[in-house]
Amino acid sequence: MHWKFTKMHGAGNDFVVLDGVRETIALTPERARKLAHRQFGVGADQILLVEPATRADADFRYRIFNSDGSEVEHCGNGARCFVRFVREQGLTDRNPVRAEIATGVITLDLRDDGSVSVEMGSTRFDPASVPFDASGLTPRIEGEAELWPLDVSGTATPDDANADPAHTAWVTVVAISNPHAVQVVDDVDTAPVAIVGPRVEHHPRFPRRVNAGFMQIVDRQQIRLRVYERGAGETLACGTGACAAVAAGIRRGLLDSPVQVHTRGGILTIDWDGAQLRMAGPTQTVFESTVDVDALIG
Ligand SMILES: N[C@H](CCC[C@H](N)C(=O)O)C(=O)O
């Protein structure tokens, strides 16, 4: 099965993008995982599939698969690459472009300077929306935010509400469309992302797993951020993670919109008015090629 693909990235968060408009692309979790494999495949954090819209108020359908094959609700950096892709491929000349995602329609605007701003949709902080099982936990209140004590010892069980303070991460949970758990750290460079990240991602209190954000406050309008992504591990940048971190920081009374988010792959600018999020940042098309996906052995 030979497919054309385009390799792209948004602030170093890299993607294989597939045109499911001009050809039928039968993307499965297994094929997504093989394409994303860094050695046996093309290599990517996520696979993005562009398809015809299934609803009248959207121009295209936009589907996202993590490198572990899981299909998810949203990808912020991917959304910016998506809008660049559909214009570069001549699939539309509309601007803004409306993309149908799992939880609704988002609006994408390609600006004259080449940056792309994305209406990221609404934000929810109630545990049920994330989803996060907060039963038996008492949150710490900071500003308007709830900080939940998460046992990150690596031996957490669903009903363990008595985490050892030395192994407790105080997280704000946020649903952008996808789930995030954001904690503030003193220095992202020394934060134990590789150890605590997977423990948060797979914590039993997140029934659909979660993206784990580690945010360092630089000043009221700048943060540094690392994200251990659900289904992909640490990436150089995470668009929805940047949105979740900024919304959490503003609710905690630590940040003022707009916020510059310094990631390892580049700078994202996030605006949040308490309801709608807007994200702007860089995108790049790296190369185009074809791949016989069923011949991959990964
Ligand atoms: N790993 C995320 C999907 C990709 C999000 C990230 N790459 C972004 O730019 O928002 C999840 O499982 O929800």
67 lines ligand 1 (CB under 6 A): no
The tally of CA atoms less than 13 A away on the side-chain side of residue 248 is 32
Catalytic residues: 75, 238
Is 240 annotated to bind a ligand? Reply is: yes
How much is the pTM? 0.96
80 lines ligand 1 (CB under 6 A): no
Q: How confident is the model at residue 161 (pLDDT cuts 50, 70, 90)?
A: low
**Per-residue pLDDT at 160:** 65
121 lines ligand 1 (CB under 6 A): no
* ipTM of this complex: 0.97
Is 95 annotated to bind a ligand? Reply is: no
**Per-residue pLDDT at 112:** 82
265 lines ligand 1 (CB under 6 A): no
**Per-residue pLDDT at 165:** 80
238 lines ligand 1 (CB under 6 A): yes
Q: Is the pLDDT of residue 162 over 70?
A: no
**Per-residue pLDDT at 103:** 87
Pocket probe mutation, ligand 1, options 8, 72, 130, 210, max atoms within 8 Å of Cβ: 72
- Ligand 1 atom 3: residue of nearest CA: 75
pLDDT tens profile 81-123: 999 999 999 999 999 999 999 889 999 988 887 778 888 877 9
Q: If residue 72 lies in a helix (H) or strand (E), which one and from where to where?
A: strand 71-72
239 lines ligand 1 (CB under 6 A): yes
Cis omega (within 30 of 0) for bond into 29: no
The encoded tokens of residue 211 equal 């993206």
Q: How many angstroms separate the CA atoms of 9 and 285, rounded?
A: 7
Share of the chain above pLDDT 90, in %: 87
User: Ligand 1 center to residue 224 CA distance, Å?
Assistant: 18
pLDDT tens profile 276-289: 899 999 999 999 99
Q: How many angstroms separate the CA atoms of 257 and 48, rounded?
A: 29
Q: How confident is the model at residue 135 (pLDDT cuts 50, 70, 90)?
A: very high
User: Ligand 1 center to residue 20 CA distance, Å?
Assistant: 20
| Pairing mode, strands 259-263 and 266-272 | antiparallel
Q: pLDDT higher for 111 or 189?
A: 189
pLDDT tens profile 226-270: 999 999 999 999 999 999 999 999 999 999 999 999 999 999 999
Q: If residue 280 lies in a helix (H) or strand (E), which one and from where to where?
A: strand 276-281
What the chain holds in terms of domains, given with CATH numbers, is 2-119+283-296 (3.10.310.10), 127-275 (3.10.310.10)
Is 211 annotated to bind a ligand? Reply is: yes
Mean pLDDT, the chain, rounded, equals 94
Q: How many angstroms separate the CA atoms of 241 and 200, rounded?
A: 14
Atom of ligand 1 nearest to the CA of 77: 9
**Per-residue pLDDT at 23:** 94
Is 142 annotated to bind a ligand? Reply is: no
Is 239 annotated to bind a ligand? Reply is: yes
Q: Is the pLDDT of residue 163 over 90?
A: no
Atom of ligand 1 nearest to the CA of 78: 9
Integer CA distances (angstroms), 161 to 134, 137, 138, 148, 154, in order:
9, 6, 9, 10, 14
**Per-residue pLDDT at 102:** 87
Q: How many angstroms separate the CA atoms of 119 and 101, rounded?
A: 12
User: Ligand 1 center to residue 162 CA distance, Å?
Assistant: 30
User: Ligand 1 center to residue 209 CA distance, Å?
Assistant: 12
User: Ligand 1 center to residue 144 CA distance, Å?
Assistant: 25
Residue 182 near residue 174, CB atoms below 8 Å: yes
191 lines ligand 1 (CB under 6 A): no
